[in-house]
Amino acid sequence: MSTASEIYSPGLEGVVAGETAISTVAEGLSYRGYPVPELAEKCSFEEVAFLLLHGELPTARQLAEFNSRIGVARRLPEPLRDLLESLPRWSLPMDVLRTAVSILAHFDQDASDNSHAANVRKAERLLAQIPLAVVDYHRFSQGQQPVPARSDLSTAANFLYMLRGTEASPEDVKALDVSLILYAEHEFNASTFTARVICSTESDLHSSVVGATGALTGRLHGGANEKVMDLLEATGGPEPAEAWLRDALSRKERIMGFGHRVYKTGDVRAGILKTYAQAAARRAGQEKWEETAEIFERIIAEEKNLHPNLDWPAGRLFHAMGLEVPLYTPIFVMSRITGWSAHVIEQLDKNRLIRPRARYIGPERRPVKPLAERRE
Ligand SMILES: CC(C)(COP(=O)(O)OP(=O)(O)OC[C@H]1O[C@@H](n2cnc3c(N)ncnc32)[C@H](O)[C@@H]1OP(=O)(O)O)[C@@H](O)C(=O)NCCC(=O)NCCS
């Protein structure tokens, strides 16, 4: 038996659990060395997806070929479409997506091939297929038929087109595109670490993504963006917001969209997306939620020294764009599939089984009593 070091950190806080060349939060978040604010300003989501999956930003030719592969892969197998139509309308979209990824594995000719090249091919296909599964189920659950995907549109533009049946405004497409860039990758967060643990057993990419999707669903992780508007709406608006919030904080309620395990002085991504949330709220005539959000930011900083994370502006932005709340965490998956896949590929390129030790806090060693001697 190998000896376990006695260093123990609840929730693995501060523990370095592996190496990665994909992103770092040191000196501000960067993907493969590029500062994320610069990527959000100068690149499309597809360029960032290529960077994460292939290691470098694409040339114009590489980007055109990548977009063409994604466009061609925008199809769902018929049996999955039929299943999406037959699932209960009250199913949670994240649960549906988890099931959809699992089913997609059965139709992927590379499913059990764990080579680097096959994993990149599978990742590109999932990048194309996940938005379709999200939007097709959403339309079925609303009693509508799916809108066929378009191969000439970006991920953001095609998603909004399939959702609404008409092309979205350039402002909406840009705002969603920037959200996808900001959500794409974040080092060893809970869902990415889940994906790495799963593939470290030499399991496959789809299994890793199914597990990661489950991890992202929780409200302490991706699920937080779906709770933001519930909170803002519960206040009743800017007037009663301060009293409502002080009361919630005095009851030790957790305010979704605030706080972070790693960022203790603020999340640069939240600042970037806030500008888009404010602009979208102005276009939609919904400034009152932005005013309410400002009140939250001020009071939570004062009272708890906590700052917004990316989910805080994302929930507001998606709401101002008229997107329905159960789509918010699935949008996160549409983007994070790139980061998850990059990590699975990196893990498998230099794999070592992830198997930590536990500190035992159970009963002392004791003999097993025969059944007849055990008392109620
Ligand atoms: C993200 C999160 C899980 C990180 O938490 P963590 O590093 O484990 O920190 P802890 O849960 O130990 O919290 C430390 C303290 O801050 C408080 N706190 C942390 N986040 C808080 C929040 N969003 N609202 C109110 N209080 C919060 C905790 O109650 C705790 O206070 P205490 O010491 O008085 O008990 C946490 O900040 C949170 O729950 N945020 C809301 C969910 C969210 O937005 N998730 C998306 C993350 S990107």
For 316-330, how does the pLDDT look when each residue is reduced to its tens digit (9 = 90+)?
999 999 999 999 999
What is the pLDDT at residue 3? Answer: 57
Q: Whose CA is nearest to atom 6 of ligand 1?
A: 261
Phi, psi (5° rounding) for residue 158?
-65, -40
pLDDT > 70? residue 226: yes
pLDDT at 265: 87
pLDDT at 205 over 60: yes
d(CA 88, CA 276): 34
Any catalytic annotation for residue 177?
A: no
Does residue 269 have a pLDDT over 70?
Answer: yes
Please give the Cα distance from 57 to 71 (Å, whole number).
Answer: 19
Give dist(CA 171, CA 158) in Å, integer: 14
**How is residue 175 annotated by DSSP?**
H
* CA distance linking residue 352 with residue 357, whole number of Å: 15
| Distance between Cα 312 and ligand 1 center (Å) | 14
Q: What is the pLDDT of residue 110?
A: 97
| Tokens representing residue 262 in the block | 């790693």
Per-residue pLDDT tens digits for 145-156: 999 999 999 999
Per-residue model confidence as pLDDT tens digits over 76-120: 999 999 999 999 999 999 999 999 999 999 999 999 999 999 999
Active site includes 260? yes
Residues with CB under 6 A from ligand 1: 11, 220-221, 224, 254-261, 304, 306, 309, 311
- Structure tokens, 360: 């035992």
Amino acid symbol at 363: P
Specify the residue with its C-alpha closest to ligand 1, atom 39. Answer: 220
Expressed in angstroms and rounded, the spacing between residue 354 Cα and the centre of ligand 1 is: 27
> What pLDDT score does 6 carry?
73
Contact of 202 with 262, CB cutoff 8 Å: no
Contact 192, 83 (CB under 8 A): no
What pLDDT shows up at residue 1?
57
Beta strand spans in the chain (E)? 23-24, 30-31, 34-35
Q: Does the structure show a pLDDT above 60 at 255?
A: yes
Please determine, for residue 308, whether its predicted confidence score (pLDDT) is greater than 70: yes
- Take atom 47 of ligand 1 and give the residue whose Cα is closest: 221
The string of DSSP letters for 47-67 reads HHHHHHHHSSPPPHHHHHHHH
Question: How high is the pLDDT of residue 356?
Answer: 94
Q: What's this model's pTM, rounded to 2 decimal places?
A: 0.95
Catalytic residue of the set 186, 221, 311, 319: 311
